[in-house]
Structure 1
Amino acid sequence: KKPADKLTQDESASIMLYTMGWDPPEECLYVALNNTLRAIDRQNALRPWYLYLRLFLNALFRLPLLAVTAYRGVKLDLSRRYIEGETIVWWGFSSCTTSVGVLKSEMFLGKTGNRTMFNIHCKTARDIRKHSFYPVEDEVLLMAATQFKVMGSLDQGNLHIIQLEETTPRHPLLQPVPIIGSLSTYSNPPSDSTAASFDISTEKSKTHSNKSQIDTHGAAASNTKKTGINSITGQVRS
C-alpha cells in the first residue's frame, strides 16, 4: 500500500519513527533530536542527523500547511516563562493535537497537579495523522524554530492556559529541503527574528521545547527580545 500524501515509504516511515515512543523515554528519537536542536553547539551536534533530517524534512515540506487551532499540554507550570505580548520561539519540532479532548488522558495533561495547556493558533502546522504511530491522537506537527506571540494567559489554579499565535519571523530559518545546504552566520539579528534553513538559531539562555503533549520534560520558550542569537545553518546533502 502506498503512503498517503504522495510520500515515499521512507518519507512516511521517517515521520512514524519520529512519533514513536519507547523505554527509556530519554532515548526516544524525538527526545534526542530536539535536545540536539537546543544544543549551543548545534552546527556540529546536528551532523549525525543530516541524512535523517533530509528525509524527514522532505516528507514534512510535502505535506499541506494547516491553519488550525492546536493544543499542547505538559505536566509543569510554565506560566512564568510566557509573558503577554512577548515573542517566543520553540526551537524543536513540536507535536500537538487538534482535539482538545485528547489532553484529558493522564498520558498527556491529566486532571491533577501543576499543568500548562497551550492554545495555539497555527498557520503552518503539518497534518501527520496518516503517518503517525498514534493516528487516533489527531496529531499535527509544528516545525522547528516556529515563532509565536503570547496573546494571553489564564490561571485556573493548577491549570495554566496560555494562548499563542504563530507569527512570521523576519528571517526565516527553516526552509524547504532543496534550499538546505547554505552556511550563514548572523550576529545579533533583529529581536523578532528566528533562525534558518536547516538552519536553526543558537541562543544563549533558556531554550526548551519537546516533541509532543506527552513529553513531560516541558515545552518552554525563548524570548527573542532579550537574547542575542547566533544563527547557523547545517548542510544536509544527499
Structure 2
Amino acid sequence: MLPWENIPTLRRQEVYRMPSVGSISAVLKKSCYREDPSPFLVIDPRDSCYLLDPKYNCKTLQTVLEGLSEIKEIKVEAGLEPPAPSAQELNDALGNRDLFLYHGHGSGDQYIPMRKVENMNKCSAAFLMGCCSGLPYRGGRYVPKSVPISFLLAGSPVIVATLWDVPEDISQFVKAMLESFWRERSDDVKPERIGSLMADARYACAQQFLTGAAIVCYGVPTAITTKRKKKNT
C-alpha cells in the first residue's frame, strides 16, 4: 500500500486508516476506552505492557525504555520479556491493558494467532514496531487480511504499524512518541491524539522518508490522558 500520509499536503495532518466506514462505527461500539466528557476514545500510557522479540536485537529500544523510565519516570508495567510469553499471557495483556508495544520481527503474530485476537471482547491500543507489521496480504480471491485489521475486529482503538521493512532507527520514533505521551499526561491542557503526535515523531527518524514514511496509523482518533478514578458515592 502507498504511504499517502507522507505526501506534502498530509504529512503534518492527522490521518487514520480504516477498511470501511462501517468499521469505524464497529470499533467505537466495541471499544471500552470512551470516557465522558471527552468526545474521543482515550488511553492511559501508564497502563501499558511491552514485548521485545528475543530473536531480534532490541538493545537500542530497551535502552530507550530504561532511559525514559529513569529520567522521565515513565513506568512501563508488566514487561513481557524473554522467554517468550505464551499466547494466553499475551491475550490477557491485550485484554487488560490500555497500550501494548511490540518491537521485533514482523508484527508479533508468531506469538499469538490472529484468530485468537479477533475473538477477543476488547483489545488494547497497539504499537507494532516490526517490519511490514501493517502491510495487508492477499489470499487469492478473498478479501486482503492484515494484523491491524485483526486488532480492529477485537476492538483496538488505534494501531500504529509499518508498511515495509524498517531499520533500527525506528526506535527513535518510539522514543519520540513516548516522550509525547509523558508530556501530554503531565500538562494540564487538552490532550492531543495519537495521530497528531505521529506527524512530529516521524521526523525523529534518521531516515524520515524511508523509516518515517513506513509508519502508519489504523483506527479512530484516540487521545492520550490520565484516567481518573471514579469517586464512590
TM-score by length of 2: 0.29
> Could you say which structure has the higher strand fraction?
1
Structure (1/2) with the larger helix percentage = 2
